[in-house]
A and B are shown apart, each in its own frame.
Chain A
């Protein structure tokens, strides 16, 4: 069946460096994608979204890139800070008013 997944389970990054988190999706009909951040003991928090009519979207210190040709989504975090340590996961609209979520990728920021 269609699925959303992440390439790497854990990403360790030095404070101040840039982070890149990748996500592969398989539903070519998906036209809306979201990145969430989940801190320990908290619910997922919306970071940024992108629609399929765009290739790139920027927020505050974050950029989402969408490559529809290879069905790949990435989240770039600039100047990673300790507060960025969390699990990040992507989601795509899976149809039937639902979002399909990936398993998540742990980001650990090393001070």
Chain B
């Protein structure tokens, strides 16, 4: 199993550009999550999904959108990139919500200039 795979690993965007961060998992996990991690800070939940077709907002959803058309994929969309969205983005998944550890990808480092 590859686990949780995120692409790209690095990206530089100009203000106002859009992009999609890809996340896929091959563990047949129902739950998937997107976090951002700013320097010296913990993980902040952006959006999460409890299964295909279902998504919910986390702590910091503004400026982002998600979709979950399949169990495996959970892309994160930035429509109008802003400097405040410069961060490292992590995708995670687990089988059963908050009673099991989440498995993380290696992140996408995004800079908005």
Contacts and interface: CB of A to CB of B under 8 A. Distances in A.
Contacts of A89: 42
B74 interface: no
A34 B101 contact: yes
A43 B58 contact: no
B103 to A, nearest CB: 7
B106 interface: yes
B45 to A, nearest CB: 6
Interface in A68-106: 89, 93-99, 101-104
A44 B90 contact: yes
Nearest to A97: B97
A4 B40 CA distance: 15
Contacts, number: 55
- Of the candidates B40, B50, B58, B102, the one having the most CB atoms from chain A within 10 angstroms of its own CB is B102
Interface of A: 4, 32, 34, 41-46, 49, 89, 93-99, 101-104
Contact of B42 (A94, A97, A101): A101
Interface of B: 4, 31, 33, 35, 40-43, 45, 48, 50, 56, 58, 90, 92, 97-99, 101-107
A93 B104 contact: no
Given A43-B106, A46-B103, A98 B43 contact: no
B42 A99 contact: no
A72 to B, nearest CB: 18
Given A32-B99, A97-B97, A97-B98, A44 B104 contact: yes
Nearest to B105: A43
15 contacts: A43-B105, A43-B106, A43-B107, A44-B92, A46-B103, A49-B101, A93-B98, A94-B98, A97-B48, A97-B50, A98-B58, A98-B98, A101-B35, A102-B42, A104-B40
